[in-house]
Amino acid sequence: MMKHLKYSQDKEGVATILFDHATLDVNLLSEEVLLELEVLIEKLSQNDELKTVLFKSAKEGIFIAGADINEIKSLTTQEQALAKVRQGRRILSSIATLKVPTIAIIDGAALGGGFELALACDYRIATENPKCKIGLPEVSLGVMPGFGGTVRLRELIGLQKAMELILGSKQLNGKKAEHLGLVDACVPSGYLSFKEAEFIAAINSEKGREKILSKRHKPTLLERLGSALIFSFTEKEVAKKTKGKYPAPLEVIHHFKKIQDMNFYEALESETQSFAKLALTPESKHLISLFFTSERLKHDSGVGKDVQAKPLHRAAVFGGGTMGSGILWLFSKIDIPVRLKVRGEQQIAETLQAVNKNYMAIKKRGRLSQREIELKLDLISADTGFRGFEMSDIAIEAIVEDVSAKETLYKILETQLDKEAIIATNTSSLSVSTLARSLKYPERFVGMHFFNPVNRMPLVEVIRGDKTSDGSVATVIALAKRAGKTPIVVGDCPGFLVNRLLIPYIVEAVHMFEEGESFERIDTLLLDFGMPMGPFRLVDEVGLDVGYKVAKVLEEGYGSRMKTAPIFECIYSDMGLLGKKKGRGFYTYIKNSSEVNEAVNALVTQKHSFSDDEILDRTLLVMVNEASRALEEGVVDNAAYLDMAMVMGTGFPPFRGGLLAYADERGIESVVARLKVLSTLYGARFEPSRLLMTMVQEKRKFYKE
Ligand code: NAI
């Protein structure tokens, strides 16, 4: 009796194995499914009537989404990992050795183990269904394909492209997959059954078969004679991207090198060994855990299930600066007509220029054509007054960070907008409840904090004021998801979540500079820890004005533990430095290069060198301590969401799983002991929070095992 598979065979001997997971919306190659498949394939191998086998899915938009990642995460020993992956490999190999032609019909996502199954078939047909995504993204989870995928893919498309696809965790649509040779044909979904019959007829004739196979990859001269070149280029690329922090890409390259002179079966076994090694690394466990959090967030509406998000047909953006232009671009990109309000004609031109710059970057990557961009730009209109905003379903305010300027604008908005329209503020530090005080309808007012630059940063903090309605929260969450962002609901406290943690980190680094440490060294150490850039480069990037102002808001909100370093004020106010945007901050910027700004360096005459550990502990543990307070106050729902916000909002190294996962890994007891030492040396800002102390007493971690 089969649970997840359905089997049928027509009178021509064409059999169909239909994947239809009994309890999930997606098909996964879990152990249970694989074992069922094994029995079925065994039966088919003895079926003399059989002429062709088709592998299909009954799920809309999904072929097979992959192996069961929960099963990978739960592997704890080498033996378990080897056994698991050998089992999958054996079952897929039994498909490959069937005596009749096998065809994977991919009309939806075929990822990881799902695509490995397709690779074990003789032929593959994809469709133009937009949900058709094909690839082997295991590296993004810290592992690599383990069911024979690396070896079969190299045979199918060659070494260079196989490594590119796997190392980049690329997911291609049907057309691109056909172009790369991953599938033999890509057909419109509507014609699938017709094309399928045509394809079966073709592979049953010698000529037809030859025609299909003639399109397959033939090893290039570079592959035959210059694989050393391919490896050295790929190694350099990977080193640049991952700085050696991620074991999976390195293992993939090592594996492909190793199997060069092996036969097919030895190569498969080498893949198995490499997979088992990676599956046990902490990096993989962390990346998988972040993957699950992102899945959880995708299904989290932020409010009760029965709350409906308001449909958004038209939008408005107020303010055309750094953030306004990014948000304007985002609306047009997701095909929502949007109207901009700025203060002068010149600003309209500047804002549209910034929007266009974002589009040109997409065009360069081949994601949109000029025609498609023009259609999107056509969705934007602009005004220097308040005409034409009454049709907007949502208005996002991104004007200067100033309470009275914002309140003045809201007063006008309440007279100009429909009274059902949502007003969202992109404030980075002001209290949403306080800003709502001036409004007649505060329930439609909500915080929607995008990060800079809007086109690249995936996080949106959604802030609920004390009067914000559930509907308003649900609407901005749905909007953020529609825009491809990850929204996380956070509490209405100074700095919300991310800035509340990030600013103390920056300020602590500035304290150390003031005490005599080289800021370049602090930057280098944190870069080496895995941050995308050190704190001084970060504040230069964000703008010293922005950073300083937010630091002041936090100082006001939290008092002495967030007191800013006096030298920060001197650099911003007295020296008037603004950071990268004006060419001078902690560093000076000329074209694409930068160097230490000696004028800033000269501010500190006494030099003092801290140990590496001291520098890392002061900057990182000050964040851990504040994070535990935020968690205790309920600023964010749980540790996993907090970690995701830090990864997405600050680039906290994903291979570490996030800030609190890092604290867990160090051990809460040791974190607290270290904080106590730091508090005697540097003051009360390091005193461990109540939550941390309780966790030590109760031997708890942020994450349950
Ligand atoms: P910006 O200085 O680039 O742009 C501000 C815009 O507001 C300009 O269009 C300006 O003409 C307009 N403006 C200035 N005074 C005004 C007034 N009295 N009335 C109406 N409009 C006025 O600022 P940016 O960086 O775009 O920031 C806008 C908002 O987004 C602020 O609330 C800021 O805190 C927030 N934010 C900024 C981030 C950043 O990294 N720059 C990140 C996330 C949020």
- We report the CATH number of the domain holding residue 425 as 3.40.50.720
| H or E stretch covering 305 | none
Ligand 1 mean position, distance from CA 324 (Å): 7
Q: What is the pLDDT of residue 63?
A: 98
Three-state SS at 204: coil
Residues 243, 321, single domain; the answer is: no
Q: What is the 41 CA–ligand 1 centroid distance (Å)?
A: 62
The DSSP 8-state label assigned to residue 140 in this structure reads G
Q: Does residue 365 lie within any of the structural domains?
A: yes
CB burial readout 171-197, b (16+ within 10 A) else e = bbbbebbbebbbbbbbbebeebeebbe
Q: Which ligand 1 atom is at minimum distance from the Cα of 429?
A: 34
Q: Whose CA is nearest to atom 8 of ligand 1?
A: 321
Are 395 and 269 within one domain? no
Q: Any residues with Cβ below 6 Å from ligand 1, and which?
A: 319-324, 342-343, 347, 398-401, 405, 409, 426-428, 449-452, 542, 546
User: Hey, which of 317, 318, 322, 485 would you mutate to test ligand 1's pocket, going by the most ligand atoms within 8 Å of its Cβ?
Assistant: 322
Q: Are 255 and 404 part of one and the same domain?
A: no
Q: How far is CA 266 from the centre of its chain?
A: 35
8 A C-beta contact, residue 509 and residue 525: no
Structural element, H or E, at residue 366? none
CA distance 284 to 300: 24
Is 608 marked active-site?
Answer: no
Ligand 1: residue whose CA is nearest its atom 38: 452
550 Cα nearest atom in ligand 1: 34
Residues 66, 183 within the same domain: yes
How many domains, the chain? 3
Q: What share of the chain is helix, strand, coil (3-state, %, to 5)?
A: 55, 15, 35
- Looking from the CA of residue 326, the nearest atom of ligand 1 is 26
Domain carrying residue 392? 315-490
Beta carbons of 421 and 392 less than 8 angstroms apart: yes
What's residue 223's pLDDT?
A: 81
Separation of CA 320 and ligand 1 centre (Å):
8
Rounded to whole angstroms, the Cα distance separating 48 from 265 reads 28
* Burial 44-76, CB ≥16 within 10 A → b, else e: beeeeebebbbbbbebebbbbbbbbbebbbebe
* 474 and 510, same domain (yes or no): no
Number of the ligand 1 atom closest to the C-alpha atom of 427: 32
Choose the final residue of a domain: 434, 463, 490. 490
Q: Of the residues 490, 517, 544, which one is the last residue of a structural domain?
A: 490
Using the atom order of ligand 1, give the atom closest to the CA of residue 323. 26
Residue 507 CA to residue 486 CA, distance in Å, equals 27
396, 399, 448: residue to mutate for ligand 1 pocket, most atoms within 8 A of CB: 399
Domain limit, last residue, from 452, 474, 490: 490
- 666 and 524 housed in the same domain: yes
Count other Cβ atoms within 10 Å, centred on residue 368: 17
Q: Which of 323, 386, 413 to mutate to test the pocket of ligand 1 (most atoms within 8 A of CB)?
A: 323
Whether the predicted model's global pTM rises above the 0.85 cut? yes
Distance CA 621, CA 674 (A): 8
Q: Is residue 271 part of a domain?
A: yes
Can you tell me the distance from the alpha carbon of 494 to that of 235, in angstroms, rounded to the nearest whole number? 44
The protein residue whose alpha carbon is closest to atom 40 in ligand 1 is 452
The closest-lying atom of ligand 1 relative to the alpha carbon of residue 450 is 43
489 CA distance to ligand 1 centroid (A)?
22
Atom 39 (ligand 1) nearest CA:
452
CATH assignment of the domain containing 577: 1.10.1040.50
Q: For residue 210, what pLDDT is reported?
A: 96
Residue 542: name the closest of 496, 594, 577, 570 by CA. 577
- State the Cα–Cα distance between residues 198 and 215, nearest whole angstrom: 17
> Could you say which of 4, 21, 255, 449 is catalytic?
449
DSSP codes, 472-493: HHHHHHHHHHHTT-EEEEE-SS
Strand partners, 461: 449, 488
Q: How far is the CA of 622 from the centre of ligand 1 (A)?
A: 29
The SS3 of residue 178 is helix
Tell me: do 538 and 476 sit in the same domain. Answer: no
Fill in the amino acid letter for 694. Answer: T
3-class DSSP assignment, residue 214: helix
Please indicate, yes or no, whether residues 504 and 486 belong to a single structural domain of this protein. Answer: no
Residue 307 lies in a domain: no
CB count within 10 Å of CB 39 equals 12
3-state secondary structure 88-112: HHHHHHHHHCCCCCEEEEECCEEEC
Q: Say if CB 38 and CB 23 are below 8 A apart.
A: no
pLDDT < 50: residue spans in the chain: none
What are the phi and psi torsion angles at 376 (to 5°)? -70, -40
428 C-alpha to center of ligand 1: Å? 10
If asked whether residues 463 and 526 sit together in one domain, one would say no
Residue 305's pLDDT is 82
Tell me what pLDDT residue 86 has: 96
The C-alpha angle 349, 351, 354, rounded to 5 degrees, equals 110
DSSP conformational letter for 584: B
Identify whether 352 is part of a domain.
yes
Predicted local confidence at residue 1, as pLDDT: 78
User: Residue 310 domain-assigned?
Assistant: no
Q: How far is the CA of 323 from the centre of ligand 1 (A)?
A: 7
Distance 584 CA to ligand 1 centre (A): 21
Within a 13 Å sphere around the CA of 67, how many CA atoms are in the beta-carbon half?
31
With 0-12 / 13-18 / 19 or more C-beta atoms within 10 angstroms meaning exposed / middle / buried, residue 345 is: exposed
Task: Tell me which residue has its CA closest to atom 22 in ligand 1.
Answer: 399
Q: Check residue 35 and give its pLDDT.
A: 96
Q: Which amino acid is at 688?
A: P
Judgement on whether residues 400 and 422 belong to the same structural domain of the protein: yes
| pLDDT at 225 (0 to 100) | 80
pLDDT at 429: 86
Residue ID of nearest Cα to ligand 1 atom 18? 405
The whole-number pLDDT of residue 159 equals 94
Interstrand relation of 593-596 and 587-590 (parallel, antiparallel or unpaired): antiparallel
Which amino acid appears at position 117 of this protein?
A: L
Rg value, the chain, Cα: 28
Q: What is the number of the ligand 1 atom nearest to the C-alpha of 408? A: 19
β-bridge mates for residue 6, sequence order: 18
Q: In degrees rounded to 5, what are phi and psi of residue 123?
A: -135, 160
| 288 domain-assigned | no
Residues 230 and 337 grouped into a single domain:
no
The reported pLDDT for the residue numbered 304 is 82
List, as one string, the DSSP characters of 322-365: HHHHHHHHHHHHTT--EEEE-SSHHHHHHHHHHHHHHHHHHHHT
In a domain, 308, yes or no: no
Looking at 107-183, which runs of residues are DSSP E strands? Answer: 109-111, 123-127, 134-135
Domain check: are 198 and 334 in the same one?
A: no
Q: Are β-strands 394-397 and 422-425 bridged in parallel, bridged antiparallel, or unpaired? A: parallel
- Residue 414 within a domain: yes
